[in-house]
Structure 1
Amino acid sequence: MEVLWEREDAGHEAATARDVSRALAGDRDLAHTTVMTVLDRLAKKGFLERERDGRAWRYHPVASREMYVTELMLGALNETGDRDAALAHFVRSVSRDEIDVIRETLAGLTSKEPPA
């Protein structure tokens, strides 16, 4: 997913399995067929969309990295029996800079008119 998100952030077209294999070559010794299998499974699970390009498939993420992380965080929050306590603990665990981001985001939300 990271390779695909990075390509998308850089404005590149959707990636083939070969593109992903090349990008991962420096990090790991993975067989090309393994990369193809993982991409296919991610597409079947709805994380990626794919389109035919000649004999190859081109893959791109359905959601941005930020949206994916948001869904993970909401899923974790839904697993707790006490959302308020979990949120309070989370806020106490982040850095001052992150608290500033949270404050700015909340200020932006509260300053907007509610939808009619």
Structure 2
Amino acid sequence: MERGELARAVTECLWREPDGLSAASVVDRLSQHDGRRLAVTTALTVLERLRHKGLVDRVRQGKSYLYTAVADRESLVVEAMTAALADSSDRTLALSRFVDAMTPQEQATLRAALGGQP
């Protein structure tokens, strides 16, 4: 599982549990979901990276923390799209191909979001 996929899977766990999860609980949920067993330290690393990005919050509960998703699914999609665009050597071409892959309705929604600009 790549780092981006793991961050997405961790965030999915947190969205399903709005009251929060410990890192150990995240590991358990991921194991139940896809059969993979992560180290708790790996889950903690991912959770802390997400927290530093402002996507996750934590509250101390006893000796550990409960983590909750701060951002919604759409915010995570924006982050992924921004990261993908940053990886492109030709941002204009990448954006053009992205728009070409959209349905006409999605293109109209994008135009409206840009204030009707062509």
TM range (shorter): 0.5 to 0.7
Q: Which runs of 4+ in 1 moved over 6 A?
A: none
Of 87, 90, 96, 1:82 maps to 90
- Structure 1 stretches of 5 or more lacking a match? 111-116
Deviation, structure 1 residue 102: 1.4
- CA deviation vs aligned residue, 1:48-105 (integer Å, no higher than 9, x gap): 4332212332012354332222122122222323322221111001223322321332
Identity %: 29
Q: Aligned letter for 1:67?
A: S
Q: 1:31-110 alignment to 2 at 5 Å?
A: 31=37, 34=38, 36-45=40-49, 46-47=52-53, 48-107=56-115
- Structure 2 stretches of 5 or more lacking a match? 1-10
Q: How many residues align?
A: 103
CA RMSD in angstroms, aligned pairs only: 2.8
Q: Check if 1:6 corresponds to 2:16.
A: yes
Under a length normalisation based on structure 1, what TM-score does the superposition of the two structures give?
0.64
